[in-house]
Structure formats: C-alpha cells, structure tokens
Chains A and B, each alone.
Chain A
Amino acid sequence: MEFNKMDNEFNIFDILIGKESDEDYKKKPVIIQGMTGSYGSTHTRLMKAYGTNIVAGVTPGKEGQSFEGIPVYNNIAKAVEVSGAKISAVFVPAPFFLEAATDALDNGIKLLVAIPEHVPIKDSMKVLEYAERQGARMIGPNTPGVIVPEIMKVGIMPAQPFRAGNTVVFSRSGTLMYEVSYNLTRAGYGQKLCLGVGGDPINGTNLIEAFDMIRNRQDVESIIVVGEIGGDSEEQLAAYLIKTNFSKPVVAYIAGRSAPKEKRMGHAGAIIYGNYGSAESKLAKFAKADVPVAKRPSEISKLLAVKLKK
C-alpha cells in the first residue's frame, strides 16, 4: 500500500496497529491511566476482550497489584519503561487529567486518548500545547476514543456496532458514533476507523486533523462526519475538503438542528451563539462542498449508497 505522506500527517494506523513488517503488528501496546477505578477497570476488561494489547495500568499507590493479569504501576514512567508503550488511554477524573496527561507526554506517550468529560478548557489547551511540543497527539477530551474494527479499540465504545470495512467515521458525539456505525454495519458498510473527536469546545484532534490522518489512504473508500451544533469545525472541514479537492464520498450528519440558541445541549461544546455554531451555517458550508447532510442518523447509509454509485 502506498501513501502520499504529507509532512504534517500523523499516521494513526502506524501508531495504533503498525505496519505488516512489524513484529507486534496489530498488537501495539497500550497503557491505561486510572485502570483500577470502576470505569477504567470495566473498559480495560472490554478492550482486552476486543483484542487490544493492554500492557500496563497506572494508579498511584497500587504498584504491585494486577488486574486481569495486567500489572499496575505507581507512575507512567515505570509503565512506559517496562512496556515500551506509546499509546495511553486516560480514565482519571477531569480534575486530575492535566497532571496525568502531562506525565504521559513527559514519558514518551505519542497518542493520548483522553476519555474524561468536564476537563476545563484551560487544561485541555495546556495539554494540547505540550503534546505539540512533544510531537504527540491527543484525541479528546470527552471522547469515546478510537476503534479499528475487529482489530483493536482504545476507548469506551461497545464492540457490537462496528465491523471491519472501508468507511471512516469521525464523530463529535459518542452514542451517535455507535448509532451511525451500527446503521452503516447493517447496511453493509464496515469501517476502517471510527474516531470520536470529542464533545468539548477544544479538541485535541479536530475534524480537519482527523481527516488529514486518512485522506491519502487508498484503503479508505468514504468518510462519514457526525457533527453537531457549536463551534465551526464542520465549516472548517467543509472548506478544507474543497481546498484539498477531496474526491471520495463524504456524507455528514448534524445533530441539534432544532436546539435553541445559547443553551448548552449536554456537551460542553454544543452551544450556539448568534450564528456561530448554528446548524444552518454548517449545512450551508457542507452544501458548498457537495457533502450531503442526512436529516436523521438512519439516513446516512442511504446517502452514502447514492454517493458511492456516482
């Protein structure tokens, strides 16, 4: 397989599953920060069952213990030293996120999957800036994580909706990512990658960056963008699709078309101020980029079928 590698391209597949020539191809090691908490432990078990190679957990004061046969360390330095992992999923509560994430980046983590909701914007911005300096990437916060169906998942998504295939799903919402992927699966469109960019105002990996991760891959057939009201990341992506002359089918969905202005609709990032963040603004930009926008989640696979036929 050939990639036209861009300078700023972050190859998510290389980080997650590696190349076929790698000894640990499809089995890249993953650390879980906050593994022994109820949330962390539940999902560690589910990730492991899905095939994710979880090699270590981090919980201060619990070194020496193990969970599901996975050793626990007091700090991430030790966990990295022992395992060589470059991926970490952070399950700590929001007030401790900044410290956990900074520790991870200090110790060679290159992909940080930030699960917690309610992380202050200031902390997300600090982590993001630090990640850039360290040549690392953050997904989230407030994300379900990332899944390469039938190979591995780093996050809290259920396994059932996803099947391997050639569509890529990017979503600002967790449950809608499951719903839409399930719908695609049932319609016969498996997924190459599903990534939650997160429901916060600040995303470690925004829609454009997520798109950049896969736009030159020949094994990706189409892209589904699950957006929602708030901010202008969909508008930016639509403009970028035009700018990059992207020719593969892209289908979008926007949640919150009927949401009132100036009300935060569950996600910290889902709020309209004036026209900024409105569904109309997003629909208009997608129309310009020739991206059909489904009115309801169940319509996405139908729109995709039409696009693929063209």
Chain B
Amino acid sequence: MKLLEYQGKELFKQYDIRIPRSHLVSDIEQAKQAARKLSYPCILKSQLSVGGRGKAGAILKCKTESELVPKFNELMNKEVKGELPTHILIEEIVDIRGELYLSLFLNRSKRCYSLIASAEGGVEIENVENKVIIDVLIDRLSAETAEEVAHKLKLRAKTKVSFTDFTMKLSKLVREKEVELAEINPVGVLNDDSLIALDSKVIIDDNAIFRHPELKKYEHISELEAQAEKSGFSLVELDGNIAIIGNGAGLVMSTLDMVSYAGGKAGSFLDFGGSATTETIYEALKVISNIKRINAILVNLFGGIVKTNLVAQAILNAYNNNLICVPVFARISGAESEKAKEILKGTQAKLYDTVEEAIDAMVKEVSR
C-alpha cells in the first residue's frame, strides 16, 4: 500500500520526525482558511500516489490569496498519469539552508534493508553520483551505523547529531509499521541544524496490514477492487476494453503481454487464484461485469487442474442471467473440453485449444 504524501507525513509525526505545518483540504473555502492560518506564501501540493509531481506541475507555490483560487482549481483538475486528486495539502514554506536525501527500503535480492543517503537532496536519487548505500538489518540498525553514514555525508557536527536521530526515528517507523520503502526527498536542513521531512514516500507491506488496523484508513482501493479482494481475487484495472481472467498471476500477466503483442488493449487483469469452480468463475465474471468499457472477455485457464465443463457452465449461467452480454473467448484445454463446447453452443462464447488462437480471434472481432 502506497501512502499519499500527507499520510506518510502523519506517520512521520507520530514518530517525532519533524514535518512542516500543513492542512489537508478538499474545497476552496477550506483552502483559503488553511492558507490564512499558515500565512502567504505557501505551497499547494496535489495528493497523488504517482511520482514526478513536481515535474508534472502538481506542486505550486502560492504568494497571495488572489493566486490561491486559480491555483487550487488548477491542481484539483490536473490529471497526472491518469490520476486526479481528491485533496490538496497546503503547507508552510520552510526556511532551509540545505537539502539531503534519505531512504530505507527492502532490498529484495539481498533480503535485508538498504539505507541510501546523500548530501544532494531534492533530485531523483538515480541521478545522484555521491550517495552512501549500506545494507542494514532493520531490527538491529544501530546509532553507530547512522553516525557512520552521517560522517560519510560530510555533514557538520551539529547536523550529524540531527541526522543520526532522524535516521533512527525513520528506522523505527519502518520496523514497526512493516514498511517496504520509506523515502524522504528532500530532507530539509534548518538553520539550527535540525532536520525536517519536506516530502514523504511510504509503501507498507500489504500482507502485514492485518496487524496494523490503524493503517486501514489509508487504504484507497476502488469499490471494484474491494469486491474482488473479498472473493480472494487479484484485480488490476487498466484502461483498455478487454477483460483478462485466469488462474494464477503469472499466467494472467503472460496473457496480458500476448494480448498487447496482438494489438489488443487490456481493460482489466483478474487472477482468481488456484481453484476454478463454477462459482469462482461466475464470481469473477460478476466483478468484470461492473466495468463498463469492457467489450470482450478473454479467459485463460491452465488445464489439468480445471474441469472445463464447470467453467463452461459458469459462462453459460452468466449469459443466462444477463450478467454479461459481451463475447467470451476462452482457452480451456483440459479435461471434458468436448462437453464444454457442447454447453456453450449457441452462446457468444468460443473455446480454443491455445491462448494464441483465442487472442487472435478476439482481437480480430473487437477491432472490427
């Protein structure tokens, strides 16, 4: 679960990591009040989960109240990488004398955490030459290690002390909230050498959220995703018109790729997991039926574990109950496939032995 900036900063605050004064607003009246409280100039930050907000113009400085209205409206209507905000964070401008970079993230191949720090903050860390990277065990990160990093960054004595403290607080947060990635870019260096988090990027381990009911409120999944999750499915909404359903994340991903090679555009990715019964397939079709832009459904099931007649029955039921009215292209080679073909005779569903054949037929028909 990727937190929005303000959510990450709420966590920072809980861990005594200093953040600028700010207010979260969703309409112009709230915005005016907030800006008055903070005093001008202030910063308007669109609360989006996508990266690169600065470059996309989703963060604006605001000098006067007369600037506030147009800028607020601009941000509320600005879509960045397909995402529109529901909230704007209005933040005070902090007087800083330098910027640093700090992150702690799960290093998957080394199976530990890595700490990255740099004395050059505010730019994408991939483009920074001078950075310190060390591998740490997150439950055993010592103040000595943090001091060593501060030393390597050549910070001045007082900033070193602040940096160590700041890093220890962040590592506590990462450990306790089961965070996969916590990045603060930039970390502002204040004139008194204390540090302040000017941005936040925090990703929490989805599989650990059951242990953190306090983080539940940050979940921002769509109604459809919630419905899918309840049935034990993984659903990813995409922007095309073809729904892809299958058993297994890898299989559905590979189907998505093949649809894309064939010139089709996927509108959703649905993995219904291991067991393919009439009920689960029907449930999956039900989820898909809520996506309006879908005009074809591709089903890719690996045979051997699936009785294809059960799948066919689910598709037939979905047509009979008017749950779906778009054509289904299914690759369900496996036991009982002749029976399956018989069941679906006279419907808009077509069965194929290979997924390639199903995709070719589908893309031809959809693009007609």
Point out residues on A near B: beta carbons under 8 Å: 94-95, 118-122, 125, 128, 156, 158, 160-161, 171-179, 182, 199, 201-202, 206, 226, 228-233, 236, 253, 255-260, 262-270, 273-275, 295-298
Kindly identify which residue among B2, B251, B261 contacts A173, using a CB–CB cutoff of 8 Å.
B251
Nearest Cβ distance between residue B342 and chain A, in whole angstroms? 23
CA distance A259 to B238 in the complex (A): 9
Q: What are the 10 tightest A-B residue pairs by CB atom distance, in nearest-first order?
A: A173-B250, A266-B249, A175-B248, A120-B208, A176-B250, A258-B260, A175-B251, A255-B253, A160-B304, A266-B234
B93 within 8 A of partner (CB): no
Q: Give B230-257 interface residues, CB cut-off 8 Å to A.
A: 234, 236, 238, 246-254, 256-257
B180 touches A266 (CB 8 A): no
A95-B210 contact given A128-B111, A175-B250, A266-B234, CB 8 Å threshold: yes
B257 touches A121 (CB 8 A): no
- A121's closest neighbor in chain B, by CB? B205
- A160's closest neighbor in chain B, by CB? B304
B207 touches A94 (CB 8 A): yes
Nearest Cβ distance between residue A118 and chain B, in whole angstroms? 5
Contacts of A233 in B (CB 8 A): 108-109
Point out residues on B near A: beta carbons under 8 Å: 2, 49-51, 106, 108-109, 111-112, 126, 178, 180-181, 205-208, 210-211, 234, 236, 238, 246-254, 256-261, 266, 269, 271, 274, 302-305, 354, 356
Contacts of A202 in B (CB 8 A): 106, 108, 111
- B2's closest neighbor in chain A, by CB? A262
B257 touches A201 (CB 8 A): no
Kindly identify which residue among A122, A267, A298 contacts B354, using a CB–CB cutoff of 8 Å.
A298
A265-B269 contact given A158-B305, A231-B108, A258-B260, CB 8 Å threshold: yes
A264 touches B236 (CB 8 A): yes
CA distance A296 to B260 in the complex (A): 12
Q: List 29 contacting pairs A-B, 8 Å CB cutoff, sorted by A.
A: A120-B178, A120-B208, A121-B207, A121-B208, A174-B274, A178-B304, A179-B254, A182-B302, A201-B108, A201-B180, A228-B249, A228-B253, A232-B108, A232-B109, A255-B250, A257-B260, A258-B256, A258-B259, A262-B51, A264-B206, A265-B252, A266-B253, A266-B269, A266-B271, A268-B206, A268-B207, A270-B253, A295-B261, A296-B356
Contacts of B250 in A (CB 8 A): 171-177, 199, 226, 228, 255, 266-267, 270
CA distance A220 to B234 in the complex (A): 36
